[in-house]
Structure 1
Amino acid sequence: MSHSPNQAILLTSSLHVDDARKAIAALVEDLIEESKTINDPADVETAALDQAINRILAADLLSPIDVPAADNSAMDGFAFDGKCLDTNSTAITLRVVGTALAGKPFEGSIGPGECLKIMTGAVMPAGCDTVIPQEFTSAKDENVIEFKQDQLRPGENRRLRGEDLKKGKPAIAAGRLLRPSDLGLAASLGIASLPVKRKLKVAILSSGDELCAPGQALDAGSIYDSNRYSLTGLLNRLNLEIIDCGIVHDDPVSLKQAFIEAASKADVLISSGGVSVGEADFTKQIMQELGDVGFWKIAMRPGRPMAFGVLKPVSGKFPARKTLFFGLPGNPVAVMVTFYQFVRAALLQLNGANQTEPPLTQAIAEAPIRKKPGRTEFQRAILGRGADGKPTVLLTGSQGAGILRSMSEANCFVILAHEQGNVAAGDWVDIALFDGLL
Structure 2
Amino acid sequence: MSQSPNDPILLTSSLHVDEARKAIADLVNTLLQEDQAINRPDAIDTVPLDQAINRILAQDLLSPIDVPATDNSAMDGFAFNGKCLDDSQAEISLRVVGTALAGQPHTGKIASGECLKIMTGAVMPSDCDTVIPQEFTTKLDAEHISFNAKQLKAGENRRLRGEDLQKGRAAIAAGRLLRPSDLGLAASLGISSLQVKRKLKVAILSSGNELRSLGQTLDAGSIYDSNRYSLTGLLNRLNLEIIDCGIVRDDPVSLKNAFIDAASKADVLISSGGVSVGEADFTKQIMQELGDVGFWKIAMRPGRPMAFGTLRAVPSKTAESRTLFFGLPGNPVAVMVTFYQFVRSALLQLNGASQTEVPVLQAISETPIRKKPGRTEFQRAILGRNSAGKPSVRLTGSQGAGILRSMSEANCFVILGHDQENIAAGEWVDIALFDGLI
When normalised by structure 2's length, the TM-score is 0.96
Residue 74 of structure 1 contacts residue 158 of structure 1 at CA under 8 Å; is this kept in 2? yes
Equivalent residue, structure 1, for 2:162: 162
Residue 202 of structure 1 contacts residue 269 of structure 1 at CA under 8 Å; is this kept in 2? yes
Residue 10 of structure 2 contacts residue 294 of structure 2 at CA under 8 Å; is this kept in 1? no
**CA RMSD, Structure 1 to Structure 2 (Å):** 1.8
Change (3 A) 1:105 1:354: same
Equivalent residue, structure 2, for 1:213: 213
Equivalent residue, structure 1, for 2:388: 388
Question: CA shift at 1:42, angstroms?
Answer: 4.7
Q: In the aligned structure 1, how far is the partner of 2:382 from the partner of 2:250?
A: 37
Equivalent residue, structure 2, for 1:86: 86
Change (3 A) 1:187 1:319: farther
SS at match of 2:203: strand
User: What are the equivalent positions in structure 2 for 1:177-326 lying under 5 Å apart?
Assistant: 177-279=177-279, 282-312=282-312, 314-317=314-317, 321-326=321-326
Equivalent residue, structure 2, for 1:399: 399
Question: CA shift at 1:242, angstroms?
Answer: 0.6
Q: In the aligned structure 2, how far is the partner of 1:8 from the partner of 1:436?
A: 38
SS at match of 2:244: strand
Deviations 1:344-369 (A, max 9, x none): 00000000000000111111111100
Question: CA shift at 1:433, angstroms?
Answer: 0.9
SS at match of 2:206: strand
Deviations 1:287-330 (A, max 9, x none): 12211123421110000011111111633348974211000000
Deviations 1:64-118 (A, max 9, x none): 1111011000010000000000262210100001111111111112110000000
Equivalent residue, structure 2, for 1:108: 108
1:346 and 2:346 correspond: yes
Residue 363 of structure 2 contacts residue 393 of structure 2 at CA under 8 Å; is this kept in 1? yes
Residue 39 of structure 2 contacts residue 352 of structure 2 at CA under 8 Å; is this kept in 1? no
Change (3 A) 1:94 1:196: same
Deviations 1:129-157 (A, max 9, x none): 00000000011100100000111000000
Q: How many residues align?
A: 436
Change (3 A) 1:146 1:27: same
SS at match of 1:308: strand
Equivalent residue, structure 2, for 1:135: 135
Equivalent residue, structure 2, for 1:124: 124
SS at match of 2:239: coil
SS at match of 1:414: strand
User: What are the equivalent positions in structure 2 for 1:56-95 lying under 5 Å apart?
Assistant: 56-86=56-86, 88-95=88-95
Q: In the aligned structure 1, how far is the partner of 2:119 from the partner of 2:53?
A: 33
Change (3 A) 1:47 1:8: farther
When normalised by structure 1's length, the TM-score is 0.96
Q: In the aligned structure 2, how far is the partner of 1:429 from the partner of 1:61?
A: 38
Residue 290 of structure 2 contacts residue 312 of structure 2 at CA under 8 Å; is this kept in 1? yes
Q: In the aligned structure 2, how far is the partner of 1:259 from the partner of 1:322?
A: 13
SS at match of 2:20: helix
Give the residue type in structure 2 aligned to 1:45: D
Q: In the aligned structure 1, how far is the partner of 2:144 from the partner of 2:5?
A: 78
Equivalent residue, structure 1, for 2:373: 373
Q: In the aligned structure 2, how far is the partner of 1:69 from the partner of 1:379?
A: 50
Q: In the aligned structure 2, how far is the partner of 1:403 from the partner of 1:345?
A: 24
Change (3 A) 1:160 1:35: same
SS at match of 2:284: helix
Equivalent residue, structure 2, for 1:357: 357
Give the residue type in structure 1 aligned to 2:387: A
Residue 293 of structure 2 contacts residue 309 of structure 2 at CA under 8 Å; is this kept in 1? yes
SS at match of 2:31: helix
Deviations 1:260-306 (A, max 9, x none): 11111111000000000234663222212211123421110000011
Q: Give 5+ residue unaligned stretches, structure 1.
A: none
Q: In the aligned structure 2, how far is the partner of 1:42 from the partner of 1:202?
A: 20
Equivalent residue, structure 1, for 2:99: 99
Residue 371 of structure 1 contacts residue 422 of structure 1 at CA under 8 Å; is this kept in 2? yes
Equivalent residue, structure 2, for 1:46: 46
Change (3 A) 1:337 1:281: closer
- State the identity %: 80
Residue 54 of structure 2 contacts residue 178 of structure 2 at CA under 8 Å; is this kept in 1? yes
Which segment is superposed worse, 294-303 or 220-229? 294-303
